[in-house]
Amino acid sequence: MTKFTDFINNTITNSGNILRSGFGSKFQIDNKIGKNNLVTEYDYKSEKYIVEEIKKAFPTHNIISEEKGSVNNNSEYDWIIDPLDGTVNYANNIPIFSVSIALSKNRELIAGAVYQPILDELFSAELGNGAKLNGELIAVSNKSDMNSSLLVTGFPYDINNDPKNAIKSFTNIVKRGIPIRRLGSAALDLAYVACGRFEGFWEVNLNS
């Protein structure tokens, strides 16, 4: 499985370099379906690079990508890509965003990574071998009391419809005085839980 992990780590850092090169510059921004559901030309540039690398290295595999790069080859392997998670932050020069790449075999995740280009933080994981941050093993927080925890969340683009009582759930936590953060990149939220920076993360209606 090392060949997959090495490929993911190399590809994701290179795509992160593409995002870093465009951060703070002027670029094309469009709006997808939903309020403030943005896509930039760097979403596409990052995706194009990742998809091309996967096609070269693993031409028979499937690709599931957020923008335009999905490919169905009826393979047992699925590459799951978010070329820029935190596009609203990126478009507004807020340095909180990431790239994520995962690989599943027969619907079981076997390897993946999340990369934060600005801080040069690479979170990686491999089935059976734990999770790492820049090559060092990480672990979740050992706190067990929710009231002393630091939590993180996000809101769906259709929050005005309050799917799955998202507003009520958020309000109930806030009323308990528990500190909550909203970073704008679900992939980073999950990675930060994995290394113990947050005790928990919740969000409704997330897609793979």
Domain boundaries of the chain, sorted by first residue: 2-137, 146-202
CATH topology of domain 146-202: D-Maltodextrin-Binding Protein; domain 2 (3.40.190)
Among candidates 42, 1, 50, 4, which has minimal Cα distance to 24? 42
The tens digit of pLDDT for each residue in 143-167 reads 989 999 999 998 876 677 676 677 8
Give pLDDT, residue 169.
84
The reported pTM is: 0.91
The tens digit of pLDDT for each residue in 130-146 reads 999 999 999 999 998 99
Contact between 163 and 204 under an 8 Å Cβ cutoff? The reply is yes
H helices present in the chain, as ranges: 2-22, 41-57, 87-91, 166-175, 186-194
Give pLDDT, residue 80.
97
Give the side-chain half-sphere CA count within 13 A for 104. 11
Looking at domain 2-137, which of 3.10.450.50, 3.40.980.10, 3.60.21.10, 3.30.540.10 is its CATH number? 3.30.540.10
pLDDT at 35 > cutoff 80: no
